[in-house]
């Protein structure tokens, strides 16, 4: 697959490893990890690589809910929200629409360096989460998982400085059907008590988030918090993404 080879070749002189079906390539400036189903995902998303290039070129031009379109490829990216979390790490959550389909990309700027075990833990967390989600839905919590397919880390120039950028790519739903849970619950997408937007509906949503997070934690699944959740505005379903295991 030409597209797959191009994506893999971003990682110069890579070291290849395999663990629990997760294949990782690690080079001096780029890192790539993908799940067992990634090749099938790429086959159904041949515009993904062009979308990554377009996102990288426009990282510093992203504004919430302002769509950017690549005239050459037709790729459209729409930031659903941005925010600050854990210090100065900037987060972007993008709806990415290619000529083939829509998917979701979470971007973290200047986060911790990606390791091989990070990708393995994400895939393991997805496996662990499936029966937990079935149990949560039995209790009426209405939750789903958007599985991660690819994790890619690279470095970009920002003036005289170099930034580490991590892409986490998942399946997605139509951008206009969902909203960010953290953006709905907190002013500025910032989880601080003084930023909480108190309404009866938000109190109910916050309680659901706590119940989902607590049950996931009981079974060793982490990073299940409002920053990693969307709310389907039509069905009320909470969609979690980018989770981790111990």
> 19-53 pLDDT, tens per residue?
666 777 776 667 777 777 777 777 777 777 678 77
- Three-class SS of the chain: CHHHHHHHHCCCCCEEEEECCEEEEECCCCEEEECCCHHHHHHHCCCHHHHHHHHHHCHHHCCCCCCEECCCCCCEEEEEEEEEECCCEEEEEEEEECCCCEEEEEEEECCCCCCHHHHHHHHHHHHHHHHHHHHHHHCCCCEEECCEEEEEEEEEEECCEEEEEEEEEEECCCHHHEEEHHHHHEHHHCCCHHHECCCHHHHHHHHHHHHHHHHHHHCCEECCCHHHEEEECCCCCEEECCCEEC
Query: Quick check: 165 and 155 in contact, CB under 8 A?
Result: yes
Has this prediction a pTM greater than 0.85? no
Of 127, 116, 245, 114, the C-alpha closest to 168 is 114
The predicted-structure confidence for 55-93, as pLDDT tens digits, reads as follows 878 877 777 678 889 988 888 888 765 554 443 345 567
Would you place residue 102 in the very low, low, confident or very high pLDDT band (cuts 50, 70, 90)?
A: confident
- pLDDT of 143 strictly over 70: yes
CA–CA distances in Å: residue 48 to residues 66, 98, 226: 20, 7, 26
- Can you give the pLDDT at residue 91? 55
- Can you give the pLDDT at residue 28? 63
Strand 238-240 relative to strand 143-145, pairing? parallel
- pLDDT of 133 strictly over 80: yes
The predicted-structure confidence for 117-128, as pLDDT tens digits, reads as follows 676 778 788 889
- pLDDT of 165 strictly over 50: yes
Which is higher by pLDDT, 107 or 109? 107
- Can you give the pLDDT at residue 100? 64
Which is higher by pLDDT, 110 or 214? 214
The predicted-structure confidence for 175-223, as pLDDT tens digits, reads as follows 567 888 888 898 877 788 899 999 999 999 999 999 999 999 999 999 9
Would you place residue 164 in the very low, low, confident or very high pLDDT band (cuts 50, 70, 90)?
A: confident
- Can you give the pLDDT at residue 12? 47
- pLDDT of 245 strictly over 80: yes
């Amino acid at each position: 697959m030409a597209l797959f080879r191009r994506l893999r070749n971003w990682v110069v002189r890579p070291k290849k490893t395999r663990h629990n079906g997760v294949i990782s390539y690690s080079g001096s400036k780029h890192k790539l990890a993908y799940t067992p189903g990634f090749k099938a995902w790429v086959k159904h998303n041949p515009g993904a690589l062009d979308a990554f290039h377009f996102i990288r070129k426009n990282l510093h031009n992203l504004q919430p809910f302002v769509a950017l379109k690549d005239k050459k490829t037709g790729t459209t990216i729409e930031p659903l929200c941005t925010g600050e979390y854990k210090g100065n790490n900037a987060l972007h959550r993008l709806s990415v629409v290619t000529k083939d389909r829509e998917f979701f990309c979470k971007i973290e700027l200047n986060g911790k360096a990606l390791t091989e075990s990070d990708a393995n833990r994400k895939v393991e967390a997805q496996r662990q989460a499936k029966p937990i989600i079935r149990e949560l839905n039995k209790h009426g919590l209405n939750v789903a998982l958007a599985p991660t397919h690819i994790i890619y880390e690279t470095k970009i120039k920002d003036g005289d400085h170099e930034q580490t950028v991590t892409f986490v790519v998942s399946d997605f739903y139509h951008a206009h059907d969902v909203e960010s849970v953290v953006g709905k619950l907190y002013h500025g997408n910032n989880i601080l008590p003084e930023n909480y937007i108190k309404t009866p509906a938000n109190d109910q949503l916050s309680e659901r988030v706590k119940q989902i997070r607590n049950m996931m934690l009981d079974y060793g699944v982490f990073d299940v918090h409002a920053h990693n959740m969307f709310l389907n505005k039509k069905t009320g379903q909470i969609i979690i993404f980018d989770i981790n295991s111990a």
